[in-house]
Each structure stands twice: as C-alpha cells, then as structure tokens.
Amino acid sequence: MAEVLLFHHAQGLTPGVVALADVLRAAGNTVHTPDLYDGHTFDVLDDGLAYAGGVGFEELMKLGVRAAAELPEALVYIGFSLGVMPAQNLAQTRPGARGAVFMGSCLPAGEFGGWPPEVPVRIHGMAADPIFTGEGDLEAARELVSSAPDAELFLYPGDRHLFVGRSLPDYDPDATELLLDRTVRFLREV
C-alpha cells in the first residue's frame, strides 16, 4: 500500500477530512494529515479563506514542505481544494513522488516547473462546481491530463465544491463513495 501526505482544505483539518484519512488508513495505507492551520477550523468557507489569506498562501506552501521534510520521499500527495497547492507543489518538485490526487482544484503545471512524467495524477471535481469550473481549475486539469502520460480527470454530477467532507454542508455521499473507491484503487496501483 501507499504512504500518503494529505492536505486539508480551506476550512481546516475538519472531522470530515480526518474521516477520509481514516478510510484510506482502513484500506491499508499510511496517511499523514498535517494541520496547516494550527488547530483552527471554520464552518464557513469564506472564513477559512480569510484565515489562509492572513497566514499567506506562500507560508502555507512552506508549511506543506516542512510537513513533508520528515517523511520518506516515496509519498502520494493528496490535496483538497486549498490543500492542492502544497500537494501539487510537492508532487512536482520533491523527488520520489509516487503519485498525486487533487480534489476540487488544480493549478497549471507550469506553476511549479512542469509535471514530472513519472508521477501519475488523478483529479476529481464536480462538473458544475463554480469554483472548480469557474476559476481556471478545470482548464488546468484538462491541460495536465492532455500532457501528462498517466493522468485522469473525474467529473462528478453536481455543483458542490467540498463534496467529500462529511462534516460540511456540501457533502455528497454518492460522489464521495465513488471518489474514495477510485482513490483506494489508485493507491493500490502506485
């Protein structure tokens, strides 16, 4: 199985993120869940984004790099929304990445110098999510899928952004179950 470094979304290391990590652990994976918010969680996405802006997005990326520094190089990086920033940065720049899974977000691969061809990536989002489809993430995901040798984009029906966090209002149990099945299978293969 895989060793995973999982980064939370803008609402923090919520019980829903922890529950997802537990599902991946139950499937035999080792999952690390660093708290980039130092214990803060937010009920409202905009409040979490404001907190992230106060900390600084560059600082959050540095915290992600520090979280990875004490772990083996052979990691799969998973990020939820805002957590895709450190996950994608590490998948593209830290040697030894075994794979990456991005949920609800994707940055242009050129942001971190190009996608390494040996790193498989899976990108998940809802087809009508105004954040994923309206802020350039879907275009970046399609570009990455068209240029990387082992990349897949999964679009789910609906318009929710943080649909995998069962502790959040956007939770969609059917989409989450399918995403988790795909992710567990991916972790078995890398």
Write the CATH number for 20. Answer: 3.40.50.1820
Q: How large a percentage of the chain has pLDDT more than 70?
A: 100
pTM, 2 dp? 0.96
Burial (Cβ within 10 Å: 0-12, 13-18, ≥19) of residue 69: exposed
The per-residue pLDDT for 167 is 84
Q: How confident is the model at residue 166 (pLDDT cuts 50, 70, 90)?
A: confident
Q: How confident is the model at residue 9 (pLDDT cuts 50, 70, 90)?
A: very high
CB-CB contact of 13 with 6 (8 Å): no
Q: Dmax of the chain from CA atoms?
A: 39
Domain assignment of residue 37, given as a range: 3-189
The per-residue pLDDT for 106 is 98
Q: How confident is the model at residue 165 (pLDDT cuts 50, 70, 90)?
A: confident
| Mean pLDDT value of segment 113-126 | 97
Annotate 139-150 with b (16+ C-beta within 10 A) or e (fewer): ebbebbbeebee
* Cα–Cα nearest to 148, from 126, 122, 127: 122
| Mean pLDDT value of segment 139-144 | 98
Domain count, the chain: 1
